[in-house]
Structure formats: C-alpha cells, structure tokens
Structure 1
Amino acid sequence: MGQKEKMINLTEGSVAKGLWEFTLPLMLGQLLQQLYNVADAWVIGNYADNASFAAVSAGGSLTFLVVGFFNGISIGGGVVISRYFGAKDHKNVSKAIHTNVLFGLIASILATVLTVWLTPQMLVWMQTPENVIPYSITYFRIYFAGVSMIILYNIFMAVMRAVGDSIHPLYYLCVSSVVNVILDLVLVAGMHKGVAGAAIATVVSQGLSAILCLIRMQKTGGYMRIHLSQLKYDGPMMKQVLYQGLPAGIQNSALSLGNIVVQSNINSFGEFAMSGLGAHSKIEGFVFIPIISVSNALSTLVSQNLGAGKVDRAKKGAFIGMAASMVITVFMGIGMYILAPYLIGIFTSEPQSVEYGVVFMRTVTIFYLFLTFTHEAIGILRGLGKSVIPMIGMFGFWCVGRILYVTIALHFIPDFRVICWAYPITWTCTTVTFAIVLSRTRWKIY
C-alpha cells in the first residue's frame, strides 16, 4: 500500500474515529511489547531460579532511567515533527527528522559507554541482594551493550507516528515480538543461558525493529527518507527538538530515579519482595497499554491540530481520549484487585512472593483513575508545546516527593505497606496539580 493509505491525518474527518484509528495500532504495539516482556518473565520464572527472575524483574527502573530519557527526547522531537506536518511544511518536517536521528546516533554511543561502565555501581546503589547481583550485572551489561539499537528504534517509531503512520511500527513490533519469544525459548529454556539469554533476545529483537523502521522510511521517500549528507547540526531545529524533548527525557529519568530509590527499599525486604513486585509490574504493564498509547496519540493529535490552526478540534480530541482511557483503566483495576493472587501466581509459585505482590496490587489498583489522568494530561501538555510543566510536576512529586516519603516513612514505620502507598499518594498529587494547570492553560495556534 502507498504512503497515503497508511498515514492518518488527525486534522481532518471525525475526531473520535481518527483518534481511534491512530491509537489502535499503538495499543496493539504496546500489547505486543508487554507480551514479550511477560514472555521474558515467564520463561525465566519457569526455567531459571528465583534469583534470576528477581534480577530481571527488578531492573525495569534501571533500564527506564536510560532508555526513558532518550525515549522522552524522541517523543518531544515527534511533537516538533507533528507541528510541521500539520502545517504541511514538509521541508521542516525533513529537517526535524534528520535532527532527531542525528541526536539519536550521538546519544547512543555515549549511553552505551556510560551504562556498561556504571552497571555494577548502580546495582550497589539500589541495594541489590548479594545473591542477585551477579545475575543483574550479566543481564544489564548485555542489555546496555545493545542499548543503541533500542534508542534508535524509539526514535524511528516516534518519527513515523508523528506523521500519522502508526501501522508500520506495529507490523515491525509483531516481527520483533515473535523473534524475542523464539530466542527466549531457544536461549533460556533450551540452551539454559539464563539472564544472558533473556538480554540477548531483547537486544536482537528490538534491533531488528529499528532496522525495519529505517528500511520503511527509506522506501517511503520524500521527507521521510534519511540522507547521510543531511545528518548535520542545525542549531535552531536542534533547539526546538531539545526544548520539547529534553523536559520529557528529564521527566522520564526523574520518574525512574524515584522508582530506583523505591526499588532499593523494596530490595531491602529480600528477593521474595523483589520477585513479587516484579510479577506485579508485568501485570500492571497491561494497564499502561491504553494509558501510554492514548497519551502518545494525544500529543500527536493536539500538536497536528494546533499546527493546522484547529484549536476546538484539538480540545475535543483531548477530552475524548482522556475520558476513554480513564474508563478502560478503572475496569482493568477492578479486575486486577479481584484476581490478584491468581495473576501474581502466573509468574511465581513462591507463597511469600505471591503475598508481597498481592499486597502491592490491592493497594495501588484502586487509584488507577489518578494514574491515568496524570499520563493523559502529560500527553496533552506536550502537544501544547508545554513539556516543561509535566517535567516539573513529575520531578517534584514522582521523584523528590516519592523519595522523601519512602525515606522518612520507612524510618518510623519499617513496613512493606509503607512503600506501596508511595504510588497512590504521588499519583493523587500530580492529578490535582495537572487538573489545575489544564484548566488555566491557553490553547494557542503555533
């Protein structure tokens, strides 16, 4: 099919239909990602020991500290691309794409060197139990050695989605997911490579997705084609990309830093707490499918429509997306609360691990309404070109606030439930803050 058949212009036609058609591939893509995350966890949980499972499960915050930063940059860069796309300024669309890719190439080299070098020290800072550290070092050094592929994959996907193509990233994610599961079964279950096999499977599969995205962009041609001669520094465009993307990257890293501190406190309760919370995170990943998909879609929709001078349409789309995602996640939270023991039991049969996971799940699920509102508000604010506001809010509450709460509260009440409440408290604070900000924000044409 041609380029026009695969790209969705969110500035025309039915708002609800356009938003749904654009968001559905994002949701399916998120679902596939979560399924192969679950495959990692299930294979390791069933074909390796509990320490290996704990090592991989507890590493989400650490990987997101790095990947989340660059993913935030790519999302911010996508907002810039969407703005020019909505205004039909294809010359600047191409310039913004090349600026994003150049940034990704440079960042990939720096990220690889620093993360491979610092992995052991970061694990010590996280208070990782001694029996888990060897497994963690193996997993993360392999993962970070291939982090360049993951960073470039996120950038290419953000570029394609910014111009309305959410279908092809889904296709490539399908291929990646199948490859990941096959490699998991071969390397971990078949060849007994443990955490090393899981890390190799993740890097290879995401690297394949990056290559497929690049091939598609080259075949599409026009403003989507990458020309090596145009991969050069453009000060004004880089300033725009960093202005929109850097706050999002800092926000993601700040969130991850807060979670790392929380994770270090979870780790202090032992490997059963680590594996129990790891199991919960795999289930909760499904809740984030509609949340993150709609948030990313709203950034594109709002940015495209403001670029096209359609303020009312941008507002209508924001309301529809926000309401739909909140309804979906509330029902998912209810189901998780009821089925908590069975869901945690999918990944671990250790009674203590299941107990920790159930306590955490039944504490946070009743607050998913606030979690959803926060993320959709972030998507809207990014589309409005106000990436700094979510950064400040998330850094203040989800990083500093969460760290202060856990550190002080655990000092006086050394109970695992104290950690569980760190999340609902910070979700509620950001919801109130972003609701006030959105009610007072002026929606203006770029």
Structure 2
Amino acid sequence: MPRAHKSRLLDMTHGDPFRLVLQFSLPLFCSNLLQQVYNLTDTALAGHLLGAGALAEIGATAALYGLIMNFAFGMNNGLALTISRHFGAGDEHGMRRAVGWMVTLSVAVSLVLTFASLLGRNALLTALQVPAEVWDGASAYLTLILLGIPLTMLYNMEAALLRAVGNSVTPLLFLLFSSVLNIGLDVAFMGPLGMGVRGAAAATVLAQGISAVLGIVYLVRCYPELHFSAGQLKTATPHSVGNMLWAGLSMGLMSAIYNLGSVALQSSINALGSVYITAQTAARRMAELYFIPGGALGISVATFSSQNLGAGKRSRILQSVKAAFAIYLVWWLFAVVYTVFLGRTTICAITGSADEVIVSNAMLYLKISLPFIPPMGVLVILRNMLQGIQHTVEPLLASALELIGKVIFAVWLVPVYGYRAVCFCEPTTWVICFFFILIAVWHCRADLADRTAA
C-alpha cells in the first residue's frame, strides 16, 4: 500500500507503550473534549436563546440520549476489537471479513433499536418522571433524536473502524467538522427559524448525518484494505460471528448498563423539579469534561491490548495500563484547580442564570464528585483492558454493580435525602466497582503474560 496511506496507521505492537498510548489517546482526548465543549455550547445556546425552561426540556431526557450515544460508541468499539486483533496479527483477509460483519451487525442493531425506542418513547418519558410542564418539549426533542439513531450508529462505526487500525486523528477531524456544523445549525434552527428544542435535536441529527456520509466517502477512497465483498462474509463461521457480536454487545451493554443507571437517577432528579434538573444538567456537562480522559485512555488501552493480543505480545498490555493511569492523574489535578477557581463562573455561563439555588447545587455535585475521579479512571481503564483481552464478563458485572447502586439511590435515597444523595450516588458506586475490577484483573493476571512455547 502507498507510503502516505501507511502513515495513517498505527501499529502498537512495537515501540514504547507510554508514547503509543499518548499518541493514540491524544486525538481521542481532543475528540472527547471537543464533543463535551460542543455539549456545553449546545446547552448554553439553548439556555440563552430559549431560556431555562428549554434547558429543562432538553435536560429531562439527557441521560436517555447519553444512553443511546454510549451504546453506539461502545458497541462499535467492541466490534472493532476483532479488526484490531487481525491488524495486530497482519491478517488482511480476516480484517476485510470482520469489517463486513461489523457493518452488517451495526446496521441491524441500529434498525431494531430505532424501531423499538420510537414505539416506547412515551413509556420512556413516563419512566423518567418528566414533569408535565416540560413534557411536550422533551417529547419533541426525544423523537427527533431517536429517528437519528441509524446515523449515530453509522457515524460511530466509521470512527471505530479507523481507530481499529490505529488512526485516531481522522475521527477527530470529522468530529470537528460535525461540531462546527452542529453549532451553526443550532444558531439557525433555535434562532431565526424559531424551531425551539426541535431545532437543537434536528441540528444534532443533521450534522451527524452529513459527517457520516463524508466518512463513507473517505473510507472507500483511502482504505482499500477495509473493503469487503459479500463472498468474504460467507467465509466467516457462525462461532466467529457470534463472538464478534458478543464483543460488540458486551462493550455496548457495558456503556448502556452504566447509562441505564444514569437514566434511573435522572428520573429521581426530574421528580425533584425543574430547578434541580437545570442544576444537574449544567453540573453534569462540566463534570463530563473531567471524565473524558477515562474514555479516551480506555479505548486506547483496549485497542493496544487487542493489537498486542493478536501479535502474541501480552506482557506489553500492563505497560499501557500504567501509562494510562499516569496520564489521567495529571488531568485530574488540572480539573481540581479549574473547579476551585472557575467552577461557579462556568456554571453561570452554561445555564445563562445567576440563580443561587441552581449554581450552589451544581457546585455541590462537582465538589463531591471530584475527589473520586481517580478510582473512576482506574475502573474505566481496566474495564476496557479486560475487553481488549477478550474478558467480557467481568466488565459487564462491574457495570451491573453501578446500575444496582444507582437504582438503590434513585428509588430509596434520593426521595429521602434530596439532591445531596444524587451527588453521592456516583462516587459511591465508583469506589465499590473499583475494588471489584481490581479483583477481576488479579484473577486474570495469567492472561497478561506471554505464552511460552511447549
């Protein structure tokens, strides 16, 4: 293949693990940071252009939208791990076959998910305890978002394909284009065109759709080794397809189970009233900026682990994990300093409001969550590492523990202790799952050593 094309690939089976993890995760970090900055901008635009009421309409379904996005992101990354293993092993035929089945499975799941969620959208809003005063706006916003699920899946599938072969830069460029386009459409749809919260949803779906189409063109023109034919699909065994589907569903469910807990928690927040919905929406948008290295480093470690597993270089995997821990620690220290000095100012900017009840509750969430980000970072990185070495059950169990913890808080503690219980919910589940995942890694430590010849 041409030299220029090779420069877009990153073989992580050779070289210094710290440098490789940093090199691969930096564009991912920038992508996630850009996504969160966009989310902040989108929220601020809604607050400034449409008022706090519209912000509550969008925020009432924010956890459900996060569930969809994270499932799409997780599932496609899980499907792509098979491609990473073939890439690490130098098996181009296996890569083409895996790409074909990744496309097939991703399309099938997206259609089922869209149909089922549209049929049940009113039940979803009821389960979320969306207040009557924001029901209509929340329903309109959610309907358009659900219609865009196939485009969301396609957009994430293309990015996952590129990351599987070590290219984390091009997905960043597509995301940059999508975010700028999205913000422009937000201003037009919510401003002069007067579409309200429908405009925010339409802008998101349209921007992702345009980026997805451009992504197809790019992959077809620049990555011939990722092209596949119908005949190559037939060479896969049912067992291999089943394993690939499970890997995708496992990572998708890992994210979805976590977000199901967030949906349950959002339901209890909605029951507290629109003031707390607004406070939580603003605080969560800001906190997600602090969480993004975990996602970037987690995917980096998963891809690193999968490539080195395919190459038979298992002993390199823990080196990548240590590198990821060190990088996240530096970011956490920055997050602490930023919150102390600029937290209140940022909350006011996001909400477009100086209401002390909103600002003080948002700051309470940040102050309680921040000290517990390090164990959360360890949890996310190790879960992804386990996925990369084909240990799919343990990460799911850790996510299930998070779900159980959030449901307990949502059903029993938040109604009694109010918003303070919301603030303590995630830190509590992070610590519990942190110890669980350490035990899981200890039990599979033999799979992190190179296999010696008999």
- Of 286, 289, 301 in structure 2, the residue corresponding to residue 286 of structure 1 is 289
Find the residue that maps to 2:191 and give its secondary structure. helix
Percent of pairs identical after alignment? 27
The one-character-per-residue Cα deviations of 1:121-161 (angstroms, maximum 9, x if unpaired) are 21111111111111111111011111100011111111110
Does the 8 Å CA contact 2:41/2:350 hold for their aligned counterparts? no
**Amino acid corresponding to residue 408 of structure 2 in structure 1:** L
**Equivalent in the alignment of 2:364:** 359
**Equivalent in the alignment of 2:326:** 323
Deviation at 1:190, TM superposition (A): 2.6
- Of 100, 103, 106 in structure 2, the residue corresponding to residue 104 of structure 1 is 106
**Amino acid corresponding to residue 405 of structure 1 in structure 2:** F
Runs of 4+ in 1 over 6 A off after TM superposition: none
**Equivalent in the alignment of 2:71:** 69
CA distance in 2, matches of 1:354, 1:43: 18
1:2-401 paired onto structure 2 within 5 Å: 2-227=4-229, 235-348=238-351, 349=353, 350-396=355-401, 398-401=402-405
Does the 8 Å CA contact 1:219/1:225 hold for their aligned counterparts? no
Deviation at 1:60, TM superposition (A): 2.6
Deviation at 1:445, TM superposition (A): 6.0
The one-character-per-residue Cα deviations of 1:286-344 (angstroms, maximum 9, x if unpaired) are 11221111100000011111211112222211211122113312431342244332221
Does the 8 Å CA contact 1:80/1:240 hold for their aligned counterparts? no
Deviation at 1:23, TM superposition (A): 1.1
Greater shift, 339-348 or 222-231, is seen at 222-231
Deviation at 1:58, TM superposition (A): 3.3
1:428-439 paired onto structure 2 within 5 Å: 428-439=431-442
The one-character-per-residue Cα deviations of 1:227-268 (angstroms, maximum 9, x if unpaired) are 466566852332121232222222222111111111111111
**Amino acid corresponding to residue 403 of structure 1 in structure 2:** V
Does the 8 Å CA contact 1:266/1:419 hold for their aligned counterparts? yes
CA distance in 2, matches of 1:182, 1:410: 38
Does the 8 Å CA contact 1:139/1:196 hold for their aligned counterparts? yes
CA distance in 1, matches of 2:76, 2:327: 25
Find the residue that maps to 1:131 and give its secondary structure. helix
CA distance in 2, matches of 1:436, 1:340: 36
**Equivalent in the alignment of 1:404:** 408
Deviation at 1:225, TM superposition (A): 1.9
CA distance in 2, matches of 1:83, 1:60: 35
The one-character-per-residue Cα deviations of 1:188-207 (angstroms, maximum 9, x if unpaired) are 12322111111011011111
Quote the RMSD (CA, aligned, Å). 1.9
The one-character-per-residue Cα deviations of 1:192-226 (angstroms, maximum 9, x if unpaired) are 21111110110111112222222121112432125
Does the 8 Å CA contact 1:51/1:135 hold for their aligned counterparts? no
Deviation at 1:284, TM superposition (A): 1.4
CA distance in 1, matches of 2:271, 2:334: 33
Aligned pairs, how many?
Answer: 444
Does the 8 Å CA contact 1:337/1:365 hold for their aligned counterparts? no
Gaps of 5+ in 1: none
Does the 8 Å CA contact 1:65/1:256 hold for their aligned counterparts? yes
**Amino acid corresponding to residue 221 of structure 2 in structure 1:** K
Please, what TM-score do these two structures have when normalized by structure 1?
0.95
